[in-house]
Amino acid sequence: MGSDDLFRKRKARDGAALQRQKQERARNKRYLIVCEGTKTEPHYFLELREDLGIRPQMVRVAPNDGVSPDRVVDHALALYKEDAVGGDVYDTVYCVFDRDRHTTFDAAVQRTKALSAAGTPLVAITSTPCFEVWLLLHFGYTDQPFHCAGKKSVGDQVVAALKTKKGFGKYGKGQKGIYTQLKGQLSNAIDNAEQLRKRCAAAGSDNPATDIDKLVLAIQALPSTLMLQVSSFRS
């Protein structure tokens, strides 16, 4: 076989591989997640991604650059623009942050909405008062509001409630394995979060509330590495 034939076959294989990559990208989404929390939330989403067999290229969980909601949005926008320089963009950038006592919460939410309306797909995934509301909903529905009490912040109150649940007596921020520990109750948490959202809309209140279920569902809808391998084989 001549060198010209080898070159043509190699070029054809490379072209077919590139075409499969383009088709795969067209079928699938790429998400960026930027969390306010430095450990608890990133650990949770990384464990979820691994459990579902989602490739890191499809769901990037980025370290934050400041813990206030405005800093989360700033960093998420910077990472989105940085990625776009390479000729591709994330389909959605999720900014995960809590209301807690942050003075920039409302402005950060409004900014994500304005950016999204202008074509930059940032979405605020918020929890009130904090991420631990999502964890509580794995144990059952609750719409009991949380408030500061004495030296305990509103976030401390949610954590205290979580510590009354089986297996969470020693819960601490930054703990690993939370997703794995609770995944058997994940469908219940999703249903409870949706019910809570409806209650919030009817009552005109968001204490407590969480949108973490929306992000979990978006990740669950992505194809796993096994699905992609089967798709590639059939191509």
pLDDT score of 9: 61
Unique residue bearing structure tokens 């010209």:
4
Record the pTM.
0.86
Interstrand relation of 31-35 and 92-98 (parallel, antiparallel or unpaired): parallel
pLDDT score of 231: 38
Q: Are 75 and 64 in contact (CB under 8 A)?
A: yes
The three-state secondary structure class of 85 is coil
Exposure pattern of 69-108 as b/e (b: 16+ CB <10 Å)?
Answer: bbbbbbbbbebbeebeeeeebbebbbbbbbbbebeebeeb
pLDDT score of 59: 97
pLDDT score of 23: 46
Pull the structure tokens for residue 137.
């909903």
10-residue averages of pLDDT along the chain (235 residues)? 62 53 63 95 97 96 91 97 92 97 96 98 98 98 94 94 97 93 98 98 96 98 65 37
CA distances from 204 to 121, 185, 192, 198, 200 (A): 26, 28, 18, 10, 6
